Amino acid sequence: MTRSGFMCLLPGLFCIANAFAAESPSKYPLRCQSDDGFLLILSDRALDPERCKSHVARVIKAFAFVADSAAWKDRGPLTAQPLRFSVLGDPALKVLGYAQGPNLMVMKDAYMDNPLSEGTLAHELTHIQDLRQLRGKRLPSFMLEGRALTIGQAYRMHIGQKPGDYDRQMARSAATFTAEQAMELLDNYRGHGWNNQAIGTVVVEYMRVQWNGGVAGINPRLSRMIERIAAGREFDLAFQDEFKVAAEAFADTFAGWLRTTQNIPQQRLRGTIWQSFAAESLTAKPSRVARDDYVSEVIDIVDEVLRW
């Protein structure tokens, strides 16, 4: 028996509700929905109707931004199935938010009042769109995260926010990865957590800014790669088809660049989304709070995708 299962023997009904919630965040009552029925807002609590409507509007706006950034060839898969957004209270949700497979996004309702949640929305919606386009095929988790973090950051800037403590922490990781650390992280197609997210973002930023003079329209190009994977190509081959360079050769070039720029943040971060933090990136204090405030793990993606 799991620890939570055991704990649930005592407090009775509350615990049953809690266990139910933890296992089925998509089963909460419907509180409101978009006019076209695409977006369904679920919650464990009675949401004020205005607040519920505001959640709908914010998700739809971020979803459109993500779709534009990705520039999908076919937007059909994006709205082919309803998207459930479950906003939950503290007892039901321990983390701030996550996407679970292609059809469900979960977030703490109180976190929606934090401006950073705009970035989290765009981040999770990028996962949702990528998974919908992949149609059950696999993209390495670092690449899913690199996509989601760059688009999430772009969305925050798009709506007028400024880079903040979260970006400073990311800049620190970006500036300090060694080539060896990076290669180990990139070897793991199912990694998770802060470093997995950070290295994926460094890869996407490196491609956008540095690689062969910088790849124009990097996110549309990555979308083309995802479409190739959805059509049946393995990741490494889809990468080669799209960028005309073997994935392994890319990794060698990337590792060489990491070695050249080791401990020279002004060079490594030049032109990237972290450029303004270059001077302080090596001395920025790691802040667990800033990380926990933002990091939302994609949990159960694999199981969910297989079942989809």
Binding site for Zn ion (CB under 5 A): 145, 148, 298
The residue number whose beta carbon is nearest to Zn ion equals 148
* CB 144, min distance to Zn ion, A: 6
* CB 152, min distance to Zn ion, A: 8
* CB 96, min distance to Zn ion, A: 11
**CB-based burial label for 49 (10 Å; 0-12, 13-18, 19+):** exposed
* CB 206, min distance to Zn ion, A: 19
Q: Pick between residue 8 and residue 139 the one whose CB is nearest to Zn ion.
A: 139
Any alpha helices (H) in the chain, and if so which ranges? 3-7, 13-23, 49-70, 117-134, 141-158, 165-176, 179-187, 194-209, 218-230, 235-243, 247-260, 265-268, 288-294, 301-307
Q: Pick between residue 151 and residue 218 the one whose CB is nearest to Zn ion.
A: 151
Residue type, 178: T
Cα–chain-centroid distance for residue 111?
Answer: 16
* CB 123, min distance to Zn ion, A: 6
- Please report how many Cα atoms fall inside a 13 Å half-sphere around the Cα of residue 284, on the Cβ side: 25
Q: Pick between residue 56 and residue 148 the one whose CB is nearest to Zn ion.
A: 148
* CB 166, min distance to Zn ion, A: 13
Q: Pick between residue 145 and residue 205 the one whose CB is nearest to Zn ion.
A: 145
Quick one: which of 241, 201, 202, 193 has its CA closest to 221? Answer: 241
Cβ atoms of 227 and 73 within 8 Å: the answer is yes
Between the CA of residue 118 and those of 57, 154, 205, what are the distances in Å? 12, 11, 21
Q: Pick between residue 130 and residue 145 the one whose CB is nearest to Zn ion.
A: 145
Cβ atoms of 200 and 142 within 8 Å: the answer is yes
Q: Pick between residue 179 and residue 298 the one whose CB is nearest to Zn ion.
A: 298
- Please report how many Cα atoms fall inside a 13 Å half-sphere around the Cα of residue 261, on the Cβ side: 21
